[in-house]
Structure 1
Amino acid sequence: MVNIYILGCGDLGRRVALRYGELGQSVRGVVRSRSSAEQLHAIGVDALVSDLDQPPLPDLSLGGSSLFYFVPPPPSGSVDTRIGNLIDTFAEIGAPRRLVYLSTTGVYGDCGGEWVDEQRQPRPVVPRALRRWDAEQSVRHWSRKSGCQLVVLRVAGFYGPGRLPLQRLREGLPLVCEEEAPFSNRIHIDDLVSVCVAAMTQGRSGELYNVSDGHPTTMTDYFDRIADLAGLRRPPKISLEQAKRQLSPGMLSYLQESRRLCNHKMLKELEIELKYPDLACGLASCFPDF
């Protein structure tokens, strides 16, 4: 009987499902489209098609399950209606025994480049972070009310094979010069998979964990390293003032926040030994022939 569900089973979800397969455990992925379901079937993962934007969800039966929630919030607004729709339907489809919710470190907002652990008070500003913060509060309220177990992962940007900004590099779009670039944080997707699996079995209920490799750098450094490994030209550099006039609002939103994530709690409590503890070895794994 399948008792592990991955809601929002895209690239990360497929990798988590395959990891469970290596452990001899079956997983069911829940996706929005038939084409996504076919991708899961192609790697031997059972799939259901269901849309959290259009409840009810009659095909789901989550009672007593272990549930990973990887569904992104809606693209606009400050409220995550999707997680709200799911919680509202638990009465009909059954509530999971344990839920691992994938959030973002963006909920911390701008921290002025300071080191940030899980005790830091969230101060989200940009809409995408506000939606994540809303979702975190929704699942925490549900967990306290229902008694179901909850673990929240605040995840840094993740990268890996097939998840690199190669097209942006080919387009030659500019970046902020290194001396003005804010700190950013990352984790290799293979290590993120390990963290997700460990959180389901070892994470303390009610706790949250920062998920990163613990070696912050800048977005500029990240792009330059990838360009060097891919044999592409490094992006042209501009000042922060120039960036405000030239870059997209989405890119600018990342440049307005700077923080360095502490991952000690993740390493200790989830007993994680990172395969790729920094960008040097992580990016090298993405270019095996370099």
Structure 2
Amino acid sequence: MTSVATDVLIVGCGDIGERVARLERSEGRTVAGLVRSEKSARRLRVAGIRPITADLDAPASLNNLPVKDAVVYYFAPPPDKGVTDPRMETFVSALTPSNLPKRIVLISTTGVYGDCRGEWVTEDQPPNPQADRARRRLAAETSLQRWSETSGVPIVILRVPGIYGPGYLPEKRLRSGEPVLREDESPFSNRIHADDLARICIAAARHGHPSLLYNVSDGHPTTMTDFFFRVADVLGVPRPPAVTMEEARRRLGEGMLSYLAESKRIDNRRMLEELGVELMYPDLAAGLASCFERCG
């Protein structure tokens, strides 16, 4: 790989990565995105992002990454199985002492807190992941923290809940008529609009305190059932049927049931106060209205 200097490298440059890239480029910074396929590379070229084709599952492809003095946004997901994240291990192993970034911003998940029985959760809450997908994310956090302590490169970890916005609405699920849990049994869930998340990532890169965790959320949790009902109303499709937990266990998939097994309300005060973020979509009503305008 021939290294060409860049101000920003986005590892796993999908939709959120492109949103971050647009913001960085609007401030005059050069942006490169690491993706695996030529199809994704073509998408980045169209967006004005220099593509770097490499594979976090193939360590040799990561030689000489253009990270020196760059801000790195790490958005790549862990593998689909297991309880660790070898991709993060591979990435940090590729960063040599003579080729270190200025800072790394990692997107993790609020799922690392596990089930908190509907209580409000701050960053002081000890992690207690109960699903393998969350255990993998916590493993990525731990690997990056250990590397940061050794390398001296500052990192900021963002624990992110469900993302919604254009392209993220569960329209297919709603149109299929798949049931939801009855509202009086439904857990609290939290969310952030995709555009706000991109701006929070930028704020973390500029203002985030090194080695701190930040909960990311609009600060207005509702039940998961309420979310599906509101999206259905905005899309103009029938609300899905609501069933008891007993029936849900028979009719819903393992993935959805794992989400229904956890309830928490995410406290976003540190994010607002320390990162200086003013949310464009501070609640679901504002965010869905905007999404409908943009989608419609």
TM-score (norm 2): 0.96
Distance in 1, matches of 2:97 and 2:88, equals 15
Aligned partners of 2:9 and 2:66 also within 8 Å: no
Q: Per the alignment, do residues 65 and 129 of structure 1 end up closer, same or farther by CA in structure 2, a change over 3 Å counting?
A: same
Distance in 2, matches of 1:265 and 1:226, equals 28
Tell me what 2:100 maps to.
95
Tell me what 1:260 maps to.
265
Tell me what 2:16 maps to.
12
Equivalent residues in 2 for 1:62-101, closer than 5 Å = 62-91=67-96, 94-101=99-106
> What secondary structure does 1:75 align onto?
coil
Q: Which runs of 5+ in 1 are unaligned?
A: none
Cα offset for 1:154? 0.2
Structure 1 residue 217 corresponds to structure 2 residue 222: yes
> What secondary structure does 2:293 align onto?
coil
CA deviation profile, 1:4-32 (whole Å, cap 9, x unmatched): 10000000001100111222222111111
- Of residues 245, 262, 279, the one that matches 1:274 is 279
Tell me what 2:145 maps to.
140
Aligned partners of 1:50 and 1:59 also within 8 Å: no
- Of residues 48, 51, 68, the one that matches 1:47 is 51
Q: Which runs of 5+ in 2 are unaligned?
A: none
Aligned partners of 1:80 and 1:132 also within 8 Å: yes
Structure 1 segments of 4+ aligned residues over 6 angstroms from their partners: none
Aligned partners of 1:60 and 1:93 also within 8 Å: no
Equivalent residues in 2 for 1:1-290, closer than 5 Å = 1-56=5-60, 57-58=62-63, 60-91=65-96, 94-288=99-293
TM-score (norm 1): 0.97
Distance in 2, matches of 1:117 and 1:281, equals 24
> What secondary structure does 1:288 align onto?
helix
Cα offset for 1:244? 1.2
CA deviation profile, 1:141-173 (whole Å, cap 9, x unmatched): 111111110100001111111110000011100
CA deviation profile, 1:115-137 (whole Å, cap 9, x unmatched): 00000000001000000011111
Give the aligned length: 290
Cα offset for 1:208? 0.6
Q: Report the identity percentage.
A: 51
Distance in 2, matches of 1:266 and 1:139, equals 20
AA in 1 matched with 2:213? L
AA in 2 matched with 1:157? G
> What secondary structure does 2:66 align onto?
coil
Distance in 1, matches of 2:223 and 2:98, equals 44
Q: CA RMSD in A?
A: 1.3
